[in-house]
A and B are shown apart, each in its own frame.
Chain A
Amino acid sequence: MPGGSGPVADSAAKDVILGRIRTALGNRPAARPIPREYQRSRPFPSVLDLFAERVADYRAIVHRVDDPVAMVRSLLAGKRIAVPPDLPAEWLVPEVTWLHEPLSNADLDGCDGVLTGCAAGIAETGTIVLDGGVAQGRRVITLLPDYHLCVVRADQIAGTVPEALERLEPTRPLTFISGPSATSDIELDRVEGVHGPRTLEVLIVNG
């Protein structure tokens, strides 16, 4: 049985730890209000321009389009592309071999890429957020393929990190993506392309 006798066996440790905390804190300091003088939003001239610039800054490929369908066709024609179950039907152009769920890890590992929407964008940091909601699918489908094409609508883009977090539902499984997978582990210099998709392409749909 998963978990087994765990919580029961550890309950002694729980009492020990809580007891030590209460002793350590002795006469508890009075609560101090938490200062929040930082800017929750900023007066960016154009959130959309900034998002495009910052996403590209982390070596993702960025396109700004009025209608994503033509670009989906030109980027993906002839390829085998995984998709979540609830993608807008018009995106599924016939020139592409679409791989529908349920997909095995081997299917995902072996395909040419994945096409999704997203839950939100953050302009200041060049970040896309997935929450497993509409047009996004399970977390693994945007992870195993080596190529990720993500469609972001203008109205999904928030200016700052606080503005974006406000729009998200904390208890959904969330993935924040800022550029393709990278590492700073060799001489503290950023190198793109480790375990996640090595190519991230973003279609920004003008509002």
Chain B
Amino acid sequence: MGRNPVTWLGSPAFPTAARTALADDQLRRNLNHATGLIRNKRAGAVAELPDWEQLRLSGEAIKDEVLANLDTYLLRFEESVTARGGVVHWAADAAEANEIVLRLAREAGADEVVKIKSMATMEIGLNEALEAGGVKPIETDLAELIVQLGDDRPSHILVPAIHKNRTEIRDIFRTTMPGTEDLTNEPVELAAAARAFLRRKFLSAKVAVSGANFGVASTGSVVIVESEGNGRMCLTLPETLITVMGIEKLVPSWQDLEVFLQLLPRSSTAERMNPYTSIWSGVTPGDGPQNFHLVLVDNGRTDTLASTVGRQALRCIRCSACLNVCPVYERTGGQAYGSVYPGPIGAILTPQLAGDMHDKHAASLPFASSLCGACFEVCPVRIDIPSVLVHLRSEAVAAKPRYSPEAIGMAAMSWVMAGPRRFHVAQRLATAGRLLARGGKIRRLPFPGSKWTDSRDLPAPAKESFSAWWKRTRG
């Protein structure tokens, strides 16, 4: 098995990438504008529903039920899809999934496929695999198209081009779309340009590739939630539809959708309902694709399921509300996380899917947080992201070599704290540390303390320890 493409090859650890991102003023302005706007709108959309907390509790419980009986629900889903004329495929990892999609596209005689934005296909690196196999993937979601035409990487779960403002988008279109020399930076015009550019592609495509927002185990129904209508085009026009779906995307029954169709739009785009939701079950004769393939992908999900603390990350419905409220994400942007899943959910999902805490980049992600808890408050399925972050931090530290600065520090601490005399001496020494402080903060410590102060300030130790004060005033 090769490396898991959920992390981008060669990504630096988060502190290094964050430093680069923070130096980009334009990026910070774009993110500040976009996340500020959506934060306020989401709060309004959520406040409209008096039973929001009850919906969250149900969403959490429904997803937990699926995870606790995932094998049963997957088999039921496979049976339902098959009974309605779909073909179900299983892929243990990214390479297997890519191979299946490429083979199916070739069998359908396609040299290009139109694609609906899908986190699963981004996660497995499907576009690269298709291109290597001679099949051209065409992204049809506006933000994905911007990323693809700009030869860029995504930076947000919902809006992969959130790091680009309208003028930057216009410039990408002008250089890559024929006949757009006079395009302005008005969003309406930019959307119209994409409409004209893609219409021909939709009408000629033989194969579409999609992800899935939800799969209903009891009926075999697949749900795609979207805004632009590019999803409807892909789900309706081509003869063959290939849907790539993470194994955790199921809900048990049709009734469960009534919870998620309320939670998802308000959490993601802050709308009462997104413009278009398509739901289909297998093949409908005379309407839409007559060949339907569904590829169920594991790619690290079963490893994540094995962690009793970490498995709640699999409840995620990819709304991106946690990104929009995260003070760290707002400042660094998504690309600093080095994965298709950025922000708070990325910080817990990416390292678990990658499954290798010896990878310095993956192991750095759980530390990309101040543990402020805003992500948990907005999460529509109540993922306790801060707790999972803390759990993964301990795993990251445990995976480090014995003589890491943390390990040495902890060993020294336990020696010091083992005897009261040692402890008092250490306290007096710490007080002497005030000599290093300026304005109440220590900005730079000598090695190994520099490993801490490289990315954080340290408050100056108090003038006097509590026990010295106690002795002086009461003793």
Contact = CB atoms under 8 A, between A and B. Distances in A.
Interface stretch (B175-183, B194-202, B454-462): B194-202
B279 A138 contact: no
B37 A187 contact: yes
A34 B65 contact: yes
A7 B61 contact: no
Interface in A155-207: 161-162, 165, 170-197
B272 A126 contact: yes
Contacts of A13: 89-92, 96, 298
Contacts of B293: 3, 6
B261 interface: yes
A21 B71 contact: yes
Contacts of B247: 17, 21
B441 interface: no
B415 interface: no
Interface residues of A, number: 77
Contacts of A63: none
A170 B286 CA distance: 18
Interface string B87-112: 11111100010001001100110000
Contact of A187 (B34, B230, B278): B34
B257 interface: yes
B199 A109 contact: yes
A39 B261 contact: no
8 contacts: A13-B92, A36-B58, A124-B272, A127-B273, A143-B229, A143-B232, A184-B38, A196-B275
Interface of B: 30, 33-35, 37-38, 50-51, 54-55, 57-58, 61-62, 64-65, 68-71, 74-75, 84, 87-92, 96, 100, 103-104, 107-108, 140-143, 146, 158-159, 161-162, 165-166, 169, 187-188, 190-192, 194-195, 198-199, 202-203, 216, 219-221, 227-230, 232-233, 235-237, 240, 247, 254-255, 257-259, 261-262, 265, 269, 271-282, 284, 286-288, 291, 293, 296, 298, 302-303, 305-306, 311
**9 closest pairs, A vs B, by CB?**
A196-B229, A195-B229, A20-B302, A24-B306, A125-B273, A194-B228, A185-B143, A176-B277, A14-B90
